[in-house]
Amino acid sequence: MIRSRRKILQSTLALPVVLALPRASWSQVDEYPNREIHSICMFPAGTGADIIVRYYSRKLQDLAGKPVVVENRIGAAGNIATEYVARSKPDGYTVFIAPASSIIPPARFLFKQLGYDPDKDLASVALLATLPFILFVAGDSPIKTVPELVDYLRKKGDQSSYGSSTTVGQVCAEMFKEKFGLKTMEVKYRSGLDGLNELIKHQLDFYFTDPGTTKGMVADGRLRPLMVTTARRSSALSDLPSARECGVTNLDLESWWSVHVPAGTPAAIIRKLAGWIDQFAASDETKKFLADTTSAEPLLGGAKAVDDLMAKDRVKWADYVRIAKIEPQ
């Protein structure tokens, strides 16, 4: 009996210590944020994608009530920024706003070695937006439809060429080629702008890229869009036919943006971040911003929605890399 009472007394004395542990984390969540948040951007400052990151960072700052500082960490197809976030302290003060669909799901297939585990070292917060890539020809080209382009490329054979500066653009082009049995050759560019200028000069026959970098060139007639790379039409680009409408039935690829933090970030902080994002992700102001800058559309969803999309895209990217014959770097 004495031994039992002693055990009970020891357990009771330990109880305040045990209860005190969650209180510290509760306080951490209640006080969050109590200093500036760092928003990691994988793109160079001043680019169209950088503008998107800065817009969302500014909206987050307005609701968080603390500065959100954008840090540009470019290189290695986004992996420098991704690894930095994955290795950061999981306290909610490092966030990653990015087109995750083209970075996280394909990472294992595109790189021989990674400094982080894309499946375990990042935690999803929320979805932000989605946009398709677009198939372009030169603005003064006689080609006005996808069937006309296919006929032209078949006649030209391996003397035809397309430009690529992103993995997504390359995958779109190679799947397009596979569908129609084309022999078109790839020409790689460091900069999408360089490739598009070559297309305008008729040094290339077509180019797949996102609409954010091309709006001005389309407006002044230098580029002609033929279709979007998704199976359905985009409401922001409703005048363009979908890939399926054009007979490209093997292509349904879009770029979606989302927010991530280091794995281990307290769930309550993730929920707080997601709550703020939910307040502006589909606002009229955001819709207008996306339409004016990139022709993207808001895409709503919390952490589970992000994880579900990533799981689907991992399966897709295994096929994309195989079809495009991309060798891991």
Is the same domain home to 122 and 200?
no
pLDDT score, position 210:
87
The mean pLDDT values, 10 residues at a time, for the chain of 329 residues are 42 43 56 96 88 96 97 92 97 97 92 92 97 96 98 97 93 95 94 92 96 88 97 91 96 94 97 96 94 90 96 91 85
Question: Which class for 204: exposed (0-12), middle (13-18), buried (19 or more C-beta within 10 A)?
Answer: buried
Is the same domain home to 40 and 125?
yes
Is the same domain home to 99 and 83?
yes
**One-letter amino acid for residue 245 of the chain:** E
Residue-range definition of the domain harbouring residue 274: 35-131+254-324
pLDDT score, position 209:
93
Question: Which tokens is 206 given?
Answer: 């077509």
The last residue of one of the domains, among 203, 237, 271, is: 237
Rounded Cα–Cα distance for residues 184 and 181 (Å): 9
Q: Give the domain CATH number at 187.
A: 3.40.190.10
H/E stretch holding 94 reads strand 94-98
Q: Which residues pair with 163 in a beta bridge?
A: 187, 207
H/E stretch holding 177 reads helix 167-180
* Domain-located, residue 89: yes
The alpha carbon of 245 is separated from its chain's Cα centroid by a whole number of angstroms, namely 25
Is the same domain home to 178 and 117?
no
Is the same domain home to 201 and 179?
yes
pLDDT score, position 193:
87
Percent of the chain as helix, strand, coil, to the nearest 5: 50, 20, 35
* Domain-located, residue 6: no
Q: Do the beta carbons of residue 210 and residue 294 sit within 8 Å? A: yes
Q: Do the beta carbons of residue 199 and residue 163 sit within 8 Å? A: yes
Q: How many domains does the chain have?
A: 2
pLDDT score, position 8:
40
Is the same domain home to 139 and 221?
yes
The last residue of one of the domains, among 237, 263, 288, is: 237
- Residue 227 neighbours by CB under 8 Å, 6+ apart: 134, 135, 146, 240, 241, 242, 243, 245, 246, 248
